[in-house]
Amino acid sequence: MTGQVAAFGAEGARGSLAGPSDYLALLKPRVMSLVVFTALAAMIVAPGALHPVLAITALICIAVGAGAAGALNQWYDADIDAIMTRTRTRPVASGKIGRQEALEFGATLAAFSVFAMAFLVGYVPAILLAATIAFYVFVYTMWLKRSTVQNIVIGGAAGALPPVIGWAAVSGAAFDPLPWLLFLIIFLWTPPHFWALALAGSEDYARAKVPMLPVVKGSRTTRNQIVVYTILLAASAVTPYALGFTGLIYAATAAIGSAAFLALSVALWLAPVDRERVAALRVFAFSIFYLFALFTALAAEKLIGLAPAEPTVTKAEQVVKQRLPGAPPASNW
């Protein structure tokens, strides 16, 4: 442990044994894949047309921006990453890449991704990308993670923003309702996803003194909260269909997926202590599949032509118009 702390404090790439794969690991590629996928789905359903080259450019900027945030997270959290079993092989925690190097690498890529987005794609997605990186690094990593049990709840906003960025890259609009519904879905998905992981490895978080819910409030409260958030998630997942933004394929995926997610959460809630870890890992694994399924359905429906024709003219707008004469069109929300 002491050796690891000393190792990640060591600076200088010149004599380093870090290869390109270590720098790729610094970008947290698994997190990046989920970020890119949700942004891509939003880009597919967004109204308007973006040249494929510009769409790929936007996705690269989002991927690099997310990776930069991951690198800056590893720079700041090297001390606790080195303590936790799950994270101690990360490049900075294991000493392969120096902290200073990770900071410079992350900050350079963050600036690069935002400026490239601004000049090659548009200012609105660039501002959103900058806000996402800043929120993840300054608000979640530096402030919330070590100070409050609500760390991943509030911090989840950073991971929920990529669909809004993707949507803005295509449409140029930052305040359409559908991308913010997608934001809400990922925002409510984050607590059961991370708390299930934290339940399975709560000793890890306790050793690192990270105030995750199972460490601070215990297993029972965490299981209760997972069920509550899964119910809220299920409600938010069917909302895009209820408001007329999506079709039946998405609705069926959301309904079946949410029912399965809720069943696994209830199974975790009911599980005896000796089965808790297995039940928690099931919830964690399914949560990843669930989010991919939801966004795949959303995108597939649009690609095969089964999505509602005008995603921004919706039942929601009609309801508002009926109730509030003179209300602006949904696209101006």
What are the CA-CA distances from residue 115 to residues 21, 62, 65, 111 (Å)?
A: 25, 12, 10, 6
17: contact with another protein by CB under 8 A:
yes
Please give the Cα distance from 265 to 248 (Å, whole number): 25
Annotate each residue in 116-145 with x if it binds another protein (CB under 8 A) or - if it does not, as one string: ----x-------------------------
The CB-of-260 to another protein minimum distance in angstroms stands at 41
Please give the Cα distance from 221 to 241 (Å, whole number): 32
Annotate each residue in 101-120 with x if it binds another protein (CB under 8 A) or - if it does not, as one string: -------------------x
The CB-of-30 to another protein minimum distance in angstroms stands at 20
| The two three-digit tokens of residue 222, written as one number | 């965490």
Residue 5: which of 102, 81, 103, 105 has the closest Cα?
81
The footprint of another protein on this chain (CB under 8 A) covers a number of residues equal to: 15
Among 54, 242, 262, 300, binds another protein (CB under 8 A): 54
Among 53, 273, 309, 324, binds another protein (CB under 8 A): 53
Number of H helices, E strands in the chain: 16, 0
20: contact with another protein by CB under 8 A:
yes
Render the burial of 161-198: b for 16+ CB within 10 Å, e for the rest: bbbbbbbbbbbebeebbbbbbbbbbbbbbbbbbbbbbb
18: contact with another protein by CB under 8 A:
yes
Sole window of 48-56, 226-234, 236-244, 316-324 interacting with another protein (rule: CB under 8 A)? 48-56
Nearer to another protein, 20 or 305 (CB): 20
| Contacts (Cβ under 8 Å, ≥6 apart) of 179 | 42, 46, 163, 164, 166, 167, 168
The CB-of-15 to another protein minimum distance in angstroms stands at 5
- The one-letter code for the residue type at 85 is T
* Chain positions contacting another protein, by CB under 8 A: 13-20, 23, 51, 53-54, 57, 60, 120
